[in-house]
Amino acid sequence: MELIMALFIGFLFAAATFCLLRRSIFRLVLGIMILGQAANLLVFTSGGLTKGQPAIIPGDQKILSPDAADPLPQALVLTAIVIGFGVIAFTIALLHRAERSVGSDDLNEFDKTEGKP
């Protein structure tokens, strides 16, 4: 299962890099979103993938079972998802304002905004 996740995460990083190298701002934002999700999956996978073993300490034990997944990466990924949504919402608002000012979503057009208010 870890091999499949590693290949999928590698594919997501490659797709994000491809999107980040395009000249369109929309693809730039899409690349940032994909890159964030790939990083989240990488952190989540580093905590261990277990099937049918929740990361909960039973009432009669003091420590987590060694067969269970590490709950810390799961908590970090949940926090990163919320922060990522905030960053993407801000980026989309900034993209909308910039596209209204310039009239295009091409990054090469942004250097011609000197005379515009």
Q: Give pLDDT, residue 7.
A: 95
Q: The CATH number of the domain where 33 resides is what?
A: 1.10.287.3510
pLDDT tens for each residue of 84-115 = 999 999 988 988 888 888 888 787 777 776 66
Candidate from 44-48, 50-54, 97-101 with smallest mean pLDDT? 50-54
Q: How many other β-carbons are positioned within 10 Å of the β-carbon of residue 77? A: 20
Candidate from 1-15, 21-35, 53-67, 76-90 with smallest mean pLDDT? 53-67
**Position 56 in a domain:** no
**Position 80 in a domain:** yes
The two tokens of residue 14 are 């490659």
Tally of domains in the chain: 1
Quote the domain boundaries for residue 90.
Answer: 2-49+69-109
Mean pLDDT for 17-44 is: 91
**Position 16 in a domain:** yes
**Position 64 in a domain:** no
**Position 60 in a domain:** no
The answer to whether residue 81 scores a pLDDT higher than 90 is yes
Dihedral angle over CA of 108, 38, 79, 28, nearest 10? 10
